[in-house]
């Protein structure tokens, strides 16, 4: 409950029935626009993967996946996915996808260790996407160009939904601002990571924070990242590390930084080995995914996840993610939300 934010005098712009219709409109429009902008085609994705293959996303490395035995496979354990960060790269290899094109899918995950609140649910739904690139495209410039394309999809979707529901006013700035986590630290040295994000998001409206996972000058990382998908150690021409980052908006309803996407250029062999060493996870080299990458059997890629419920929550100006998705919430949270005018689905 300490994570719960209750905006004063909150009243949802749309009622529940209209909200449900608006959610579908946003999801239909956004995914088509995203596929067109990034040259992606939709594929079907798994809800679970086999344990011990190294395919599941380890997130920050401490979250527990939901695990279950498979009866007809001699009780072999499987895990509900955290995300499809590595699975997508394997799928691109299977499809022999040409350079410059990629895939996207509806990713549904369970993350039981999430701290439940306005932004976090046990149930996670994302558009997970991955695109095949050339080795020469593994640059900060290419990353920024891709971020701008995704941001243009947000702008178009926001405009579209505001035309459909005039009571919802657009708020995103014309352009997204790029800032490295190290520069954010230097600008706000006395603030915590989340406070820095909120200060920058409020100042610019929409930001892309570069370099998530690598150690900053204060000896800490801006945030945790698994060592085997995003590249957070490769040095750029400006002297900073990292070819990944987060898209973060200013949310005036809850008055906080609001992350909608985590993405990046994926590790090559050199970055993988370096990051596994840093994370003290060199044992992962024996997993299927890692063996294939080290054997040059996987393409160079860029990819990420875009929160579906987060996107709907932001564009429909909701105070709680439970207003745009059905999930499980503590009884006291449901009661408190209802008293504050927040109607959870």
Rounded to whole angstroms, the Cα distance separating 294 from 304 reads: 21
Q: Which residue in the list 12, 58, 89, 111 is annotated as catalytic?
A: 111
Among 306, 307, 333, smallest CA distance to 320 is for 333
Whether 246 is a known active-site residue: answer yes
Angstrom CA distances, 107 to 72, 196, 231, 309, 322, stand at: 25, 29, 22, 12, 18
Rounded to whole angstroms, the Cα distance separating 271 from 248 reads: 25
Query: What is the torsional sign of CA 77, 83, 85, 88?
Result: positive
Q: Which residue in the list 197, 230, 246, 323 is annotated as catalytic?
A: 246
- Three-class SS of residue 31? helix
Q: Which residue in the list 158, 259, 261, 310 is annotated as catalytic?
A: 259
Extract the tokens encoding 27. Answer: 């999801």
Whether 57 is a known active-site residue: answer yes
Q: Largest Cα–Cα distance in the chain?
A: 58
Q: Which residue in the list 12, 31, 121, 126 is annotated as catalytic?
A: 126
Whether 91 is a known active-site residue: answer no
Whether 111 is a known active-site residue: answer yes
Q: Which residue in the list 57, 125, 128, 228 is annotated as catalytic?
A: 57
Rounded to whole angstroms, the Cα distance separating 113 from 102 reads: 31
Find the DSSP H helices in the chain.
16-38, 87-95, 140-164, 181-187, 193-204, 269-278, 288-294, 308-315, 331-339
Q: Which residue in the list 261, 262, 309, 325 is annotated as catalytic?
A: 262
Extract the tokens encoding 280. Answer: 């003290």
Question: Which residues are tagged catalytic?
Answer: 57, 111, 126, 246, 259, 262
């Amino acid at each position: 409950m300490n994570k719960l934010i209750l905006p004063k005098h909150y009243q949802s712009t749309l009622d529940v029935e209209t909200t449900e219709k608006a959610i579908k409109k946003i999801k239909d429009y956004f995914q088509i626009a995203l596929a067109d902008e990034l040259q992606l085609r939709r594929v079907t994705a798994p809800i679970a993967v086999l344990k011990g293959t190294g395919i599941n996303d380890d997130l920050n490395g401490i979250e527990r996946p939901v695990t279950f035995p498979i009866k007809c496979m001699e009780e072999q354990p499987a895990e509900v996915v955290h995300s499809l960060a590595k699975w997508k790269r394997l799928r691109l290899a299977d499809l022999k996808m040409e350079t410059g094109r990629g895939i996207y899918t509806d990713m549904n995950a369970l993350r039981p260790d999430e701290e439940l609140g306005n932004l976090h649910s046990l149930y996670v739904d994302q558009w997970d996407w991955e695109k095949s690139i050339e080795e020469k495209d593994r640059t900060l410039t290419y990353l920024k160009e891709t971020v701008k394309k995704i941001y243009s999809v947000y702008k178009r979707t926001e405009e579209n939904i505001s035309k459909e529901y005039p009571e919802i006013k657009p708020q995103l700035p014309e352009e997204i601002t790029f800032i490295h986590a190290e520069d954010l630290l230097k600008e706000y040295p006395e603030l915590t990571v989340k406070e820095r994000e909120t200060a920058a998001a409020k100042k610019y409206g929409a930001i892309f924070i570069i370099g998530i996972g690598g150690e900053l000058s204060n000896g800490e990382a801006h945030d945790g990242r698994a060592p085997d998908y995003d590249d957070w150690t490769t040095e750029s021409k400006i002297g900073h590390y990292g070819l990944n980052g987060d898209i973060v908006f200013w949310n005036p309803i809850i008055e906080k930084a609001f992350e909608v996407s985590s993405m990046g250029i994926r590790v090559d062999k050199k970055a993988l080995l370096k990051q596994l060493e840093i994370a003290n996870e060199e044992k992962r080299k024996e997993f299927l995914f890692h063996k294939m990458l080290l054997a040059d059997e996987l393409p160079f890629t860029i990819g990420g996840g875009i929160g579906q419920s987060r996107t709907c929550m932001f564009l429909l100006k909701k105070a709680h993610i439970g207003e745009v998705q059905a999930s499980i919430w503590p009884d006291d949270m449901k009661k408190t939300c209802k008293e504050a005018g927040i109607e959870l689905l």
